[in-house]
Amino acid sequence: MHFELTSETNFDFIFIFSDSFTLKMSPKSVLITGCNRGIGLELVKQFLALGSPPQHIFATFRTMSDELKKLGDENKNVYLLKMDITDIPSYHSIVKQVEEVVGEAGLNLLINNAGLLPTNRDLASVTPEDMRQAFEVNCVAPLFFTKEMFPLIEKAGKASGETGRSLSKAGVVQMSTAVASIAENTGGGLYAYRCSKSALNMSMKSMSQDLKDTGVLILAMHPGWVLTDMGGPNALITTEVCCKTMLETFESLSDKDHGTFLRYNNTPIPW
């Protein structure tokens, strides 16, 4: 999950939705990491709430929450996958489990949502271990999990028959943060979190260039400052507003957004 603990949230806007909120398109299959709570859990809920929800929603977790278990028990299209995102050798098994379900249709959308915000945040308290753990979870894991999953994502793009890029066809969203922006860093601190997420952005950008001929849409997204356990009571938006807005943004993304760094409400962030 990804959260902002500074005042650098000037471009987070609250959107009001009616009960009739639906998308014109949704991916046939989506995999979301870090779904036991917070943004990951709410993304599962919001995909389920669509007028035409995905046929397959894969939700990974390290520790199963009661709420996530309930979603899995009550919805046949939700597949719960136990995974520690730092256990890179386990990725192959996860890919196989997904492949057994999606078959030749492939995986349309991967959302790398799992993340880590270390407790030690200022210059006086940050440790080398904080930096190592944050890089492992926030940059190394999303890069290599995407690499392992990519053949299934590319397969989905080819199977769709669609022209142009879209997240309903084939895409990767690396969940980043506005505080990864070097240009917008006016508050300092958050060394491990900022640095690891800036590194995630760079790995996303390189991947978008290396894989630009595959037709897969790849980008980084800031989910906003969200009211969660880690986001704290001063955050600006609920997980519901965050994820509803994000899904609406997903629908509008196309070739022009490949390799970009966006907020959940479809506004750009300077690198």
DSSP string covering 149-199: HHHHHHHHHHHH---S--TTTSEEEEE--GGG-STT--S---HHHHHHHHH
Q: What are the backbone dihedrals phi and psi of residue 79, each rounded to the nearest 5 degrees, phi first?
A: -115, 120
Residues 6+ apart with CB under 8 A from 163: none
Q: Assess whether pLDDT exceeds 50 at residue 33.
A: yes
Sheet with 78-82, side-by-side order of all strands: 78-82, 56-61, 29-32, 109-112, 171-175, 217-222, 261-263
C-alpha separations of 234 from 6, 112, 228, 264 in Å: 10, 25, 10, 19
Provide the token pair at 232.
């704290």
Domains of the chain by start residue, with CATH: 29-263 (3.40.50.720)
Provide the token pair at 210.
């290396």
Spatial CA neighbour of 236 closest among 199, 271, 263: 263
Query: Cα separation of 270 and 120, whole Å?
Result: 26
How does pLDDT run across 155-187, given as a tens digit for each residue?
A: 999 999 888 999 999 999 999 999 999 999 999
Residue type, 124: A
Residues 6+ apart with CB under 8 A from 8: 178, 179, 184, 185, 186, 187
Torsion of CA 176, 50, 81, 201, to 10 degrees: -10
How does pLDDT run across 34-66, given as a tens digit for each residue?
A: 999 999 999 999 999 999 999 999 999 999 999
How does pLDDT run across 90-134, given as a tens digit for each residue?
A: 999 999 999 999 999 999 999 999 999 999 999 999 999 999 999
Is the pTM higher than 0.85? The answer reads yes
Spatial CA neighbour of 192 closest among 115, 143, 127, 240: 127
Residue 12, pLDDT score? 44
Residues 6+ apart with CB under 8 A from 99: 152
Provide the token pair at 215.
């037709």
Provide the token pair at 209.
């260039």
